[in-house]
Amino acid sequence: MAIERTFSMIKPDATRRNLTGAITKMLEDAGLRVVASRRVWMSRRDAEGFYAVHKERPFFDELCEFMSSGPTVVQVLEGDNAIAKNREVMGATNPANADEGTIRKVHALSIGENSVHGSDAPETAAQEIRYWFSDTEIVG
């Protein structure tokens, strides 16, 4: 298996409920290592740029409003098969469809306020990491 890096966010619904540590522990328990981490209050522009791929979707406005409504913890995670592993531990986008024991099943409030984000493929992981971090901020 290949060592990979992926991008993760702990979203405002989770930081508001003081779940940064609880969620990070679930990631670490799944074998992922936090090699970069920063708490940011992103601007509406940051959110629109980050989620540009969704700009034609009906939920885009709501998504950008929510993501700029409070602090987010942006992270780079490293490990064997990190992209798939992170998606597995996050669970389905809609917490109603998430497997038992996943972050979204345990902590998410709704499809919009779903506590975490994780990259879905190597190309998006590289792009999303670059959006938030410079190489010198990532320490493996």
54 is catalytic: no
- CA distances 64 to 17, 87, 100, 126, 131, Å, are 19, 21, 28, 21, 16
Residue whose CB is less far from ligand CMP, 35 or 63? 63
Q: Which is it for the CA torsion 83, 47, 62, 73, positive or negative?
A: positive
- Judged by CB under 6 A, the stretch of 13-21, 30-38, 40-48, 106-114 that binds ligand CMP is 106-114
When the beta carbons of 3 and 17 are compared against ligand CMP, the nearer one is: 17
Residue 108: φ, ψ to 5°: -70, 150
Q: Min. distance of Cβ 31 from ligand CMP in angstroms? A: 21
114 labeled part of a ligand binding site: yes
34 in contact with ligand CMP (CB under 6 A): no
